[in-house]
A = this chain, B = another copy of it.
Amino acid sequence: MAGMWQCQVVTSASIAGAVRQGSLRELNLAVVLRRIAAADHPPSRAGLAAGTGLTRATVSAVVDDLIAGRLVAEAEPPPRTGAGRPARGLVLAADGPAGLGLEVNVDYLAACVVDLTGTVRHHLVRRADLRPVSPADALARLAALAAEARAAAVRDGLTLAGAALAVPGLVGDGGLVRLAPNLGWRDVDVPALLAGHPLAEPVDGVPPLVVDNEANLAALGELHAGPPGSRSFLHVSGEIGIGAGIVLDGALYRGARGWSGEIGHFPVQPQGRPCRCGGQGCLEQYAGQEAILAAAGLPGAELPADTAATRLADLAGAGDPTTLAALADAGTALGVAVAGVVNLLDLDTVVLGGGYAPLAPWLCPPVVAEISRRVLTAAWSPVTVRPAALGAQSAAVGGATSVVRRIVDHPVGWLARTP
């Protein structure tokens, strides 16, 4: 990123003619759009010129392109307070491109639409136990839900620019789901099963659907929706499975093959309960939704994650001792794993997301206690443990947000598609 800014400075003035016009335009579009996206107050054209070092004429031309492409709009002018015409500020357009976020999880399907400003415009959820359903049927139901969301977006005048699908498992190249143990999926070729559906039809050679791990997309959602300042954090999503997204310096860390974040199989009791993965004593067996429900003496391991979390939160809030003990034990197991991660990665923030978010009042204290006990550096630098800003289904919101963020980072691709 620093390199890109450096290039921009080098190439913006007298030497522009020597640079390929195409790449200069790309650079300037991205620089100006990112400034508008990051601004606290809608900047004027003059303010953008001052802030970027570009000439006023260049900024005006770039802004005209961005407005024509429905990426930027002029904000309503502030009320007149004196003589002269107040400058109109520039904001991201709320009626241009939008991202479609989709999720297949163990007990629900979700689809959501997020516009360029990051606002969730539609969010549809269908409850269903998808474990007995074939991958083809599950994806057919998802495609129907996606069509509903698309229709709602079109009614709002939005254009879907792409889609991201969150699955609770390991995703390989080309959208192949290698393994989603809690769904019972293995080597499921998502694009092939969606063949013929608009989701799978490339637009200008770009496949509109990206398949990703749900914990990764939830962490991306938290990065963009969470409080400012959290640029490096561990995001732990608690559902029937437990996944983590690792954000380092504002970027998702994916690992050598994109399979990072499998915290659910962190060995918290190496000789303990057998796990579906073939291992033993994995965190999931102590702090996954089914383990917490069983310890709380609640039937219905098949409850949707947010319903289960709400029921547990209600009981804990009413002081039910069995539920409180179950949450304390789950929090301790989670804290053991999180402390191991913090010792390893030296992160200063841990975010509890997904089904953990509503349970944070009861999970945070034992997690913090284990961190204080086990993290060497906790004495000098406390670790913040907080609930996620996005609640359940954060992965769908994160997926949709990742689509629109890509447009802000690389607007040329979108503009090339605009007639």
A interface residues (Cβ-Cβ under 8 A, vs B): 1-4, 6-7, 10-11, 13-15, 18-19, 170, 172, 178-179, 181, 232, 244, 246, 248, 253-263, 265-270, 277-280, 282, 336-337, 339-341, 343-348, 373-377, 380-381
List residues of chain B with CB within 8 A of the CB of A380. Answer: 172, 178
Q: Please, which residue of chain B has its CB at the minimum distance from the CB of A181?
A: B376
List residues of chain B with CB within 8 A of the CB of A340. Answer: 265-267, 337, 340
Could you list 18 examples of A-B contacts with CB < 8 Å? A2-B3, A170-B376, A179-B376, A246-B344, A248-B253, A253-B345, A254-B346, A255-B346, A256-B346, A257-B377, A260-B346, A261-B346, A262-B344, A266-B344, A267-B340, A270-B336, A280-B373, A344-B344
| C-alpha spacing A270/B277, complex, angstroms | 21
List residues of chain B with CB within 8 A of the CB of A3. Answer: 1-4, 6-7
Judging by beta carbons under 8 Å apart, are B373 and A255 in contact? no
Contact of A244 among B277, B344, B348 (CB under 8 A): B344
A40 → chain B closest CB, angstroms: 25
Contact of A374 among B11, B267, B337, B346 (CB under 8 A): B267
- Given A2-B3, A10-B10, A340-B267: A347 touches B277 (CB 8 Å cut-off): no
Judging by beta carbons under 8 Å apart, are A14 and B18 in contact? yes
A25 → chain B closest CB, angstroms: 15
Judging by beta carbons under 8 Å apart, are B344 and A263 in contact? yes
- Given A14-B18, A341-B344, A347-B255: A267 touches B336 (CB 8 Å cut-off): yes
Judging by beta carbons under 8 Å apart, are A266 and B18 in contact? no
The 5 closest A-B pairs by CB, nearest first: A3-B3, A255-B346, A262-B343, A279-B374, A260-B346
Which of A181, A255, A267, A347 has the most chain B CB atoms closer than 10 A to its own CB?
A: A267
| C-alpha spacing A377/B258, complex, angstroms | 11
| C-alpha spacing A277/B14, complex, angstroms | 60
Judging by beta carbons under 8 Å apart, are A344 and B260 in contact? yes
Judging by beta carbons under 8 Å apart, are B13 and A10 in contact? no
Judging by beta carbons under 8 Å apart, are B265 and A343 in contact? yes
Contact of A373 among B18, B259, B278 (CB under 8 A): B278
| C-alpha spacing A15/B376, complex, angstroms | 53
Judging by beta carbons under 8 Å apart, are B266 and A269 in contact? no
List residues of chain B with CB within 8 A of the CB of A374. Answer: 265, 267, 277-280, 282
List residues of chain B with CB within 8 A of the CB of A348. Answer: 256-257
A275 → chain B closest CB, angstroms: 9
List residues of chain B with CB within 8 A of the CB of A336. Answer: 267, 270
List residues of chain B with CB within 8 A of the CB of A246. Answer: 344-345
A242 → chain B closest CB, angstroms: 11
Q: Please, which residue of chain B has its CB at the minimum distance from the CB of A264?
A: B343
| C-alpha spacing A172/B3, complex, angstroms | 28
| C-alpha spacing A70/B341, complex, angstroms | 44
Contact of A377 among B170, B253, B263, B270 (CB under 8 A): B170
A7 → chain B closest CB, angstroms: 5
Judging by beta carbons under 8 Å apart, are A259 and B10 in contact? no
A384 → chain B closest CB, angstroms: 11
List residues of chain B with CB within 8 A of the CB of A7. Answer: 3, 6-7, 10
List residues of chain B with CB within 8 A of the CB of A170. Answer: 376-377
List residues of chain B with CB within 8 A of the CB of A339. Answer: 267, 279
A162 → chain B closest CB, angstroms: 24
List residues of chain B with CB within 8 A of the CB of A269. Answer: 270
Contact of A13 among B6, B18, B258, B259 (CB under 8 A): B18
| C-alpha spacing A263/B7, complex, angstroms | 40
List residues of chain B with CB within 8 A of the CB of A244. Answer: 344
| C-alpha spacing A375/B248, complex, angstroms | 22
A145 → chain B closest CB, angstroms: 28
List residues of chain B with CB within 8 A of the CB of A376. Answer: 170, 179, 181, 259, 262, 265, 277
